[in-house]
Structures are given as C-alpha cells and as structure tokens.
Amino acid sequence: MSDAEPQFQTTQKNQTTWVLASNNKGKLAEFKRLFAEANLDVTIIPQGELDIEDAVEDGLSFIENAIIKARHASCISGKPAIADDSGLCVPVLGNAPGIYSARYAGEHGNDTNNNAKLVAELQPTRAQQPDTPIKGLFVCVLAMVRRADDPLPIIAQGLWQGEILDQPHGEGGFGYDPLFWLPDMQATAASLSATDKNRVSHRGQAIQQLLQQL
C-alpha cells in the first residue's frame, strides 16, 4: 500500500469512526503513519472517501480554519471529525505565508511555485543581512469535534522551528520541506526519513498533544 493511497482502518471490532478532514495527499500519508503508531481504537476515514469536498477556509488563524474544516466534515458525515490547519510562518515577512501557505503563489497546492515565491520574497532580506539566518516556524493546529455543533472542540498545536534556505534540498516531504533547514539535525525537513520527521515535526507534536487530551 503506497503513501499516496493511505488507509486508516484498523482491525479491531466495535470501533468508533472518525473523519479526517483533509484531501491533501502529503498530509494523509503523514497522518496514516502517525495514527497507526498511536493504536487508536477507531476507524479514521479521509473525507475524500465520503465525497466530502474541502471546506471554505475563511478564518483568520490556524485555529479558526481547523475548527471550520472539522465542523464541515462532521456536519456532512454525521460523525466526529479531526481537521488539521498548518503552514509556515516567517517572522521577517510578518509571519507570511501563514494560513495562506498552500496557495501562497496563487494556485492551491503548487509546491514548486510556492517555494519559488518564498525564496523571491526573502531576497531583499538576504541582501541586507547576508550572514544572518532567516528564521521560520512550521505550525500545525488540530481540531477534533465530536459533532458539528460541538461547543468544546479539542485543540492541539505543534510548533517546529528552523531556518529558511535560498534553494531547496532533499527529495522527500511536501510543501516547504525542501527549504526548511534544521540546524540541530543538519538536514532539511525534506531530507528526513518519515520516522524522524514524525518524531520532531509540528504535525507529530500536535498529534501527540491531541492523543494526550483524548
């Protein structure tokens, strides 16, 4: 079974079914591995398998958008739902691309163009401070609702700090991973194995927090 076609069903009986409110193949592959390691007594179904389209993300923060997506999936499916909203924040750009990370260059999910725009936007800063690393922060917020109108969503957040390179390195991962340099590991996020990335990433941290609250 390939990461491009993640399956979340476990083998236990009498399980609760949750919907994962994402159609992003990269995220689905990571969630597949992370939830498998957690041994949850649930069946987790990607929303695409239920023909649920992406929600309109019109919130102004990661938390708002995660809750919007979770409520949307729960409303249509009638089941509990988990949603992720994540992105890259670069302080020298006013924390852009932020919640617009997936569509930073205009077209949703075009990693090549998004990375190219980020490199271009950082050129003036690099020219002014050529010897100063440019800090970046990957953010992941998870929201879990038991029903669409759940007044108390469970919220978990993971933060992953690194530096932004001026050219991509590494063949793995997705999104801005090839530009995200980890000084302590001497590698980009795109150069890490799936196991190592899950152990330290923003998404891995958020899922661990979520599991503790559950």
Active site residues: 85
List b or e across 152-181, with b for residues whose CB sees 16 or more CB atoms inside 10 angstroms.
ebbbbbbebebebbeebebeebbbbbbbbb
Per-residue model confidence (pLDDT) at position 27 = 76
Under the banding of pLDDT at 50, 70 and 90, the label for residue 55 is very high
Distance of alpha carbon 71 from alpha carbon 68, whole angstroms: 5
Residue spans of beta strands (DSSP E) within 57-153: 81-90, 96-97, 135-145
Determine the Cα angle at 86 with ends 81 and 92, to 5°.
Answer: 160
Phi, psi (rounded to 5 degrees) for 202: -60, -40
pLDDT tens digits, residue range 29-46?
777 777 777 777 778 889
Per-residue tokens: 130: 């050529």
pLDDT tens digits, residue range 60-81?
999 999 999 999 999 999 999 9
Indicate the pairing of strand 180-182 with strand 154-164. Answer: antiparallel
For the domain made up of 16-205, give the CATH fold: Maf protein (3.90.950)
pTM given for the model: 0.85
Per-residue model confidence (pLDDT) at position 65 = 97
Domain boundaries, the chain: 16-205
